[in-house]
A and B are shown apart, each in its own frame.
Chain A
Amino acid sequence: MSSSVVAETEEQKYEQFMERINRGEQIEADDWMPEDYRNALIKLISMHGISEIMGALPEKEWVPKAPSIQRKLGIMAKVQDEMGHGQLLLRVAEDLLKPTGKTRDGIMQDLFTGKLKFHNVFHMPAPSWGDAGLIGWLVDGAAIITQTNMLNSSYAPYSRALHRICAEEVFHAQHGESIIMALAEGTEEQREMVQDAVTRWWESLLLFFGPPSSQVGKSKQDITIKYKIRPKTNEELRQAFLTKYVPRILSLGLEIPDPTIRFDEEKQEWIYQQPDWSKLKEIMKNNGPKSQERLNLRRVSYENNAWVREALGQIS
Chain B
Amino acid sequence: MGSNEFFQEFEVFSKKTSKAAFQHQFSLLAPNAEMAMVMAQENFLRREPVADIWVVNRKEIRGLNYEEKQMLNRLDNKEYRTTKGYGYLKKKWRHYEQQMLDEKEILSWGEK
Mark A residues whose CB is within 8 Å of B.
1, 5-6, 28, 30-32, 77, 80-81, 84, 87-88, 91, 94-95, 101, 103-105, 160-161, 164, 309-310, 312-313, 315-316
Separation in Å of the B99 CB from the closest CB of chain A?
Answer: 41
Q: How many residues of B contact A (CB 8 A)?
A: 25
A28-B66, A103-B7, A105-B3 given as contacts; is B26 within 8 A of A91 (CB)?
Answer: yes
> In the complex, which residues of chain B have a beta carbon less than 8 angstroms from the beta carbon of A5?
67, 70
B42 on the interface (CB 8 Å rule)? yes
Within B44-103, the residues touching A (CB, 8 Å) are 44, 46, 63, 65-67, 70
The one of A31, A81, A160, A161 in contact with B66, judged by C-beta atoms closer than 8 angstroms, is A31
B17 on the interface (CB 8 Å rule)? no
Separation in Å of the B72 CB from the closest CB of chain A?
Answer: 12
Cα A108 to Cα B59 in complex, Å, equals: 25
Mark B residues whose CB is within 8 Å of A.
1-7, 26-29, 31-32, 34-35, 39, 42-44, 46, 63, 65-67, 70
Cα A81 to Cα B32 in complex, Å, equals: 23
The one of A6, A30, A104, A161 in contact with B3, judged by C-beta atoms closer than 8 angstroms, is A104
A161 near B26: Cβ-Cβ < 8 Å: yes
A105 near B2: Cβ-Cβ < 8 Å: yes
> In the complex, which residues of chain A have a beta carbon less than 8 angstroms from the beta carbon of B29?
91, 94, 104
> In the complex, which residues of chain B have a beta carbon less than 8 angstroms from the beta carbon of A94?
29
> In the complex, which residues of chain B have a beta carbon less than 8 angstroms from the beta carbon of A101?
4
Cα A31 to Cα B5 in complex, Å, equals: 24
A312 near B3: Cβ-Cβ < 8 Å: no
Cα A154 to Cα B63 in complex, Å, equals: 21
> In the complex, which residues of chain A have a beta carbon less than 8 angstroms from the beta carbon of B35?
312
Please report whether the interface of chain A is mostly helix, strand, loop or mixed according to DSSP: helix
A315 near B66: Cβ-Cβ < 8 Å: no
Q: 12 new A-B pairs (CB below 8 Å) besides A316-B31, A316-B32? A: A5-B70, A28-B66, A30-B63, A31-B66, A80-B42, A87-B28, A91-B27, A103-B4, A161-B26, A164-B44, A309-B3, A315-B34
Cα A190 to Cα B89 in complex, Å, equals: 72
A5-B67, A309-B31, A313-B31 given as contacts; is B46 within 8 A of A80 (CB)?
Answer: yes
The one of A104, A160, A310 in contact with B26, judged by C-beta atoms closer than 8 angstroms, is A160
B28 near A91: Cβ-Cβ < 8 Å: yes
Cα A312 to Cα B1 in complex, Å, equals: 12
> In the complex, which residues of chain A have a beta carbon less than 8 angstroms from the beta carbon of B66?
28, 30-32
Separation in Å of the A98 CB from the closest CB of chain B?
Answer: 10
Name which residue of chain B comes closest to A1, CB basis: B70
Name which residue of chain B comes closest to A160, CB basis: B26
Cα A217 to Cα B75 in complex, Å, equals: 42
> In the complex, which residues of chain A have a beta carbon less than 8 angstroms from the beta carbon of B63?
30
B46 near A84: Cβ-Cβ < 8 Å: yes
> In the complex, which residues of chain B have a beta carbon less than 8 angstroms from the beta carbon of A6?
67
Name which residue of chain A comes closest to B73, CB basis: A1
A94-B29, A105-B2 given as contacts; is B7 within 8 A of A88 (CB)?
Answer: no
> In the complex, which residues of chain A have a beta carbon less than 8 angstroms from the beta carbon of B31?
309, 312-313, 315-316
The one of B3, B42, B46 in contact with A103, judged by C-beta atoms closer than 8 angstroms, is B3
Cα A280 to Cα B65 in complex, Å, equals: 42
B67 near A164: Cβ-Cβ < 8 Å: no
A28-B66, A313-B1, A315-B34 given as contacts; is B27 within 8 A of A81 (CB)?
Answer: no
Name which residue of chain B comes closest to A108, CB basis: B3
Separation in Å of the B7 CB from the closest CB of chain A?
Answer: 7
A84 near B28: Cβ-Cβ < 8 Å: no
> In the complex, which residues of chain B have a beta carbon less than 8 angstroms from the beta carbon of A32?
66
26 contacts between A and B (CB under 8 A): A5-B70, A6-B67, A28-B66, A31-B66, A80-B42, A84-B44, A87-B39, A87-B43, A88-B26, A88-B43, A91-B26, A91-B27, A91-B28, A94-B29, A103-B3, A103-B4, A161-B26, A309-B3, A309-B6, A312-B31, A312-B32, A313-B1, A313-B5, A315-B31, A315-B34, A316-B32
